[in-house]
Structure formats: C-alpha cells, structure tokens
C-alpha cells in the first residue's frame, strides 16, 4: 500500500472521529456555553487526557512500535506476541498503581496543578475533584488501547486503531442529547459527560482488542516481569512519554493559568477542537503511518528510502496545512459563529474564541510538522533528543503564558502555545538536518515558498468574499444560511488554492499520486523540479 494511501486510511478514520467531535462540541456549547460547569468539566477531563498522551500515545507510538517492528523482523509473529504479553503485564500493573495513587491524591492535584484558580470557589473545586476521580480510570483503558493500536499499526492494520476514538464522541453526544432532551441543568449534564468518558474508554479498548484478534494475535495477562525487552522499552518510553505529551503539557500549563479567569478554560477548549481537525487528519495520520515505515526501512538498511519517506511526509504536511492556517486566521470568527453560537454560547463568546482560533491557526503547520519530524528520532530509538527540545518548548510556553495572560487573557495562552510549537519544530528540523537524517532538497524549499504564495492568493480571495457574504454570516442569520455561506467560502478557497498551487508549480500530480513502497524504494531518486 502506498504511503499516501496509508495516510488516507488513517486520516479518513480520524476525519470521521473529528466530525463527531465537532457535533459533540456544538452540543456542549449549546448546553454549557463558557459557563462554570464547562470550565469544571474541561478542567477535570484535561488531567486524564494528559496522562493518556504521556503514558499511552506518546510512549507507545514512539518506543513500543520500533521494538515491536524489530521483533517481527527478527523473531516473527511468535516473538512479537511474546514481547507484547511481557509489556502488557507490566503496563497493566503500573497503570493500576498510578490510578490508585492519583485517585487518592486528586484533591491536592486539583488545588495545585489542574486548576489552582478554582481555590477561591470551594464548590467549583470540589466538583472538579469528583469529576476527575470518575474520569481518571479512562487513562488505564486508553493506555492499553494505545499499546494494541501500536501493534495494529506495526502489522499494517490501521483502521481499527484510527476508528476507536469515534466511540468517545458517540457516547458523549448520546449523553448530551439525553441532557438536552430531558432539560437537565448544567451540573447534571457535566455528570452525564463524566460517566460517558469512562464508558467510552471501555468501548475503545474493546474495539482495538478485537482488532488485534482479527489481525491474528492474542494477548494474555501474565505476571509482570522486567525482561531485557521491557527494560529497553522503559528506557525509551520515559523520555518519549514526555515528548509525546508536549502539546498536552503546554495546554495543562495554559489551563492552570487560565483557571484564574471565568470561562477561559472552556474558550480555549472550543478553539482547540477546531484546529484539531487538520491536526488530527493530517498530523496524526502522518505520525502513525510514518513511524513503523521509517523503523522498517532503517532496520533493513534502506537509508535512502528512510530519507525519502521523511521528506515526502513533510511535503504532504505543508501542502495541506499552509492553506488551512490562512483559512483559520481569516475565517476564525465565522467558523466559531456557525459551529457554536446558539443556546448558552453568545456573540461575546464568539469574539473571544475566534481570536484564540486565529492564533492557533498560525501554529497549525508547526503542530503538524512535529508529528512528521519526531518519527525521524523515534525510529532510530532516540527519544532523549526530542525530550530535551520539549523541555525548551515547555519553558518558553510557561514564560510567555505567564507574561501574556494578564494582558491578553485567554488569547495570550494561545500565543504561548503556538510559539512553543514553532520553537520545537525548528529544533527538530535543524537537528535532523545536522545529523544527516534529513536530506536537504532545494526543490522542497521552492515548492514550500510557492505553496505560501498560493495560500496568500487564496487568502486575498477569501478576505474579499467574506465581506460579500457578511450579511449571510451575521449572528442573526438562520443557521442553514450561515452554514451554506461558510461552505461556499471554504469550497471556493479550496478551488483557488489548488488551482494556483498546481499552476505555479507548488504542487504537481506526481506529488499527490507518488507511491512510496518499501520494495525498491531504496533506489528511488529524490523528485526533480518539474
């Protein structure tokens, strides 16, 4: 299967999840707005989500996948199965102990880490503690899910792992529909959502478990033993966990600072959901597919193939994220108005969330490029270098957030996160280039510049058309009128961007259709400027 087709498989499933995520956030905005219960729920949910990234997705996509791939190459399916069971036994035990410790420590964690700004409101703080305790076992389910997802990705079974997150959105949408149908108050709605998160974690674990069985493997729970393979995994996983969760760490820092202002946590979350669409569809797809491909190429000694895979992934990322960044900057208010402005979400909320989304748009290419650059380190079993860069990124985020929040409010948090993303991207790119793990291509630089030109032309057209459709997009217009106008703007902008990009040479059909396969790819020359 071509690299692009694999991107499309994972990206398509992720797109489905993100669409359900939009529906969920639209219902959330209508039911809770940016009120206190929205702040409480999102603050409580952020913590298990952070640990999910730290101990699950980051650690296992970075450390487990290369080792699992190596076991398949060296010892076949039986060796990979034995390694998986060793890891499963240790992971299950560690997660159980972490869950118990965090449940007992939750009051202190909420007061000093999750939402220190809630300390002056005893009721708000107590609710956050109780909801976080309900949702934290989600971490255990999702960490085991991430391990099995890594197995599926290494076995080239991408769909089950990519489609599993949809179940979180489906369960939460069901809870919101029930709350709105019964006329539940915000407090009851937040509780429905909290229990829904836990139920969704169990369902997601079930989906990937049956996916692993379908792929021809089974996992049994064995007594935990620290075998040499498990020790090697832990050595790689600890720094990888920190690096893989860098975005969540920065967001947790932003949340802790934002908790001092009513509605700021919810505003950041609503904007985050929008830019997660291109980040998820492109970034996660590239990261999930690229890591096992790079690992296999390097283990087989195909260095040229590995360099080609890395560069084509960067090319694919830039082709899609540069125009998305322009569009989010220009249409931020209109997107928020169409998706969220109803019920408890008012025009004043639109202005704040829209400004945050515009800033996130500037950081979007960086957030996605990180997903394409980190596998260049992880596939070589180097997880410490990205961790060091993550530390620099976190330090920059902290300094900027603390400085800007008193002056700009929630948008200052977004500026800090976007800046930290670009710092991390530059450090990763320069280091790969300096080590010779990334091949410099003047063609790629030229195409990137031309893509920026195409996106700028698209932006100019979009800016003009926004004024033409101003009445249709106004707050008082019917929902379907606003949605239709926004759809026209997005459709026209896509046509303009793709037409200009192909016309001036920023993209060509060979870039879209290029099939990069492992067999024979080592002898494939880099693309020529056409």
pLDDT per residue, tens digit, the chain (530 aa), is: 455 555 555 555 566 666 777 788 788 888 887 778 888 998 888 777 766 666 555 556 667 777 887 788 777 878 888 888 888 888 899 889 989 999 999 999 888 888 888 878 888 899 999 999 999 999 888 888 888 887 887 787 767 777 787 888 899 999 998 998 888 898 999 999 999 999 999 999 999 998 888 888 878 888 888 888 888 887 777 776 666 656 667 767 877 888 878 878 888 888 887 877 776 666 565 655 565 666 666 766 666 766 777 777 788 888 888 999 999 999 999 999 988 888 778 888 889 999 999 999 999 999 888 888 887 887 777 878 888 888 898 889 889 998 999 888 889 999 999 999 999 999 999 998 888 888 777 888 888 899 999 999 999 999 999 989 988 888 888 888 988 999 999 999 999 999 999 898 877 766 555 544 444 333 333 333 33
Whole-angstrom distance, CA of residue 244 vs CA of residue 241: 5
Residue 437 inside a domain? The answer is no
Token pair 């190429």: residue: 297
Residue 108 inside a domain? The answer is yes
Strand, coil or helix: 441 = coil
Whole-angstrom distance, CA of residue 18 vs CA of residue 15: 5
Residue 362 inside a domain? The answer is no
Whole-angstrom distance, CA of residue 418 vs CA of residue 430: 19
Q: For residue 473, which phi and psi values (nearest 5 degrees)? A: -95, 5
List the end-to-end C-alpha distance of the chain, in Å, as a whole number: 25
Whole-angstrom distance, CA of residue 32 vs CA of residue 151: 38
Burial of 216 by CB count in 10 Å (0-12 exposed, 13-18 middle, 19+ buried)?
A: exposed
Residue 231 inside a domain? The answer is yes
In this predicted model, what pLDDT tens digit does every residue of 256-315 receive, in sequence order?
888 878 878 888 888 887 877 776 666 565 655 565 666 666 766 666 766 777 777 788
Quote the distance between the C-alpha of residue 506 and its chain's center. 27
Mean per-residue pLDDT over the chain, rounded: 81
Whole-angstrom distance, CA of residue 178 vs CA of residue 314: 43
Residue 340 inside a domain? The answer is no
Q: For residue 426, which phi and psi values (nearest 5 degrees)? A: -60, -45
- Which of 440, 388, 527, 513 has its CA nearest to residue 4? 513
Provide the residue range defining the domain that includes 185. 36-262
Residue 309 inside a domain? The answer is no
Residue 391 inside a domain? The answer is no
Are 114 and 128 a contacting pair, CB within 8 Å?
yes
Instruction: Report residue 391 as tokens.
Output: 């530390």
Residue 483 inside a domain? The answer is no
What total of structural domains would you count in the chain? 1
Are 132 and 47 a contacting pair, CB within 8 Å?
yes
Prediction pTM value: 0.68
- Packed helices 410-435 and 347-373: angle between N→C axes, nearest 10 degrees: 10
Burial of 16 by CB count in 10 Å (0-12 exposed, 13-18 middle, 19+ buried)?
A: middle
- Which of 26, 33, 109 has its CA nearest to residue 263? 33
Are 148 and 209 a contacting pair, CB within 8 Å?
yes
Whole-angstrom distance, CA of residue 318 vs CA of residue 449: 10
- Report the half-sphere exposure of 481 (CA within 13 A, side-chain side): 10
Distances (CA, A) of 203 to 142, 145, 212, 430: 10, 10, 15, 41
Strand, coil or helix: 260 = coil
- Which of 358, 360, 431 has its CA nearest to residue 392? 431
């Amino acid at each position: 299967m071509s690299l692009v087709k694999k991107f499309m498989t994972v990206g398509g499933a992720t797109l489905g999840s993100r669409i359900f995520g939009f529906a969920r956030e639209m219902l959330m905005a209508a039911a809770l707005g940016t009120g206190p219960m929205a702040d409480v729920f999102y603050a409580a949910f952020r913590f298990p989500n952070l640990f999910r990234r730290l101990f699950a997705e980051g650690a296992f996509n970075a450390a487990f996948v290369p080792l699992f791939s190596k076991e398949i190459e060296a010892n076949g399916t039986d060796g990979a199965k034995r390694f998986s069971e060793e890891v499963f036994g240790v992971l299950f035990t560690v997660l159980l102990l972490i869950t118990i410790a965090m449940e007992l420590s939750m009051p202190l964690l909420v007061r000093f880490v999750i939402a220190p700004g809630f300390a002056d409101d005893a009721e708000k703080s107590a609710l956050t503690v109780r909801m976080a305790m309900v949702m934290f076992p989600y971490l255990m389910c999702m960490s085991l899910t991430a391990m099995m997802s890594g197995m599926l990705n290494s076995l080239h079974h991408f769909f089950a792992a990519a489609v599993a997150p949809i179940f979180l959105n489906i369960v939460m949408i069901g809870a919101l529909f029930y709350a709105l149908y019964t006329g539940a108050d915000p407090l009851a709605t937040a509780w429905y959502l909290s229990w829904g998160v836990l139920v969704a974690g169990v369902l997601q674990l079930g989906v990937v478990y049956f996916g692993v069985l379908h792929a021809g493997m089974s996992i049994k729970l064995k007594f935990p033993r620290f075998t040499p393979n498990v020790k090697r995994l832990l050595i790689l996983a600890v720094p990888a966990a920190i690096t893989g969760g860098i975005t969540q760490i920065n967001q947790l820092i932003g949340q802790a600072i934002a908790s001092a202002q009513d509605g700021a946590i919810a505003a950041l979350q609503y904007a985050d959901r929008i830019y997660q669409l291109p980040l998820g569809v492109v970034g996660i797809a590239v990261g999930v597919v690229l890591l096992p491909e790079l690992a296999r190429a390097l283990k087989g000694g195909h260095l040229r193939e590995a360099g080609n895979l890395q560069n084509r992934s960067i090319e694919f990322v830039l082709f899609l994220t540069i125009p998305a960044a322009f569009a989010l900057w220009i249409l931020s208010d209109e997107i928020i108005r169409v998706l969220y402005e109803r019920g408890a979400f008012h025009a004043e909320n639109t202005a704040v969330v829209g400004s945050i989304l515009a800033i996130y748009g500037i950081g979007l290419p960086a957030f996605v490029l990180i997903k394409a650059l980190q596998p260049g380190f992880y596939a070589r079993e180097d997880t410490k270098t990205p961790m060091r860069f993550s530390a620099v990124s976190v330090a920059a985020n902290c300094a900027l957030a603390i400085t800007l929040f008193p002056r700009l409010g929630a948008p200052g948090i977004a500026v800090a996160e976007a800046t930290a993303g670009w710092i991390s991207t530059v450090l990763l790119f320069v280091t790969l280039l300096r080590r010779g793990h990334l091949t410099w291509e003047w063609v790629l630089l030229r195409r990137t510049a031309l893509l920026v030109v195409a996106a700028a032309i698209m932006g100019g057209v979009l800016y003009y058309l926004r004024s033409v459709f101003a009445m249709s997009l106004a707050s008082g217009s019917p929902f379907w009128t606003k949605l239709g106008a926004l759809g026209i703007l997005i459709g026209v902008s896509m046509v303009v961007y793709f037409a200009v990009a192909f016309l001036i040479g920023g993209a060509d059909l060979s870039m879209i259709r290029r099939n990069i396969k492992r067999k024979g790819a080592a002898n494939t020359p880099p693309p020529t400027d056409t």
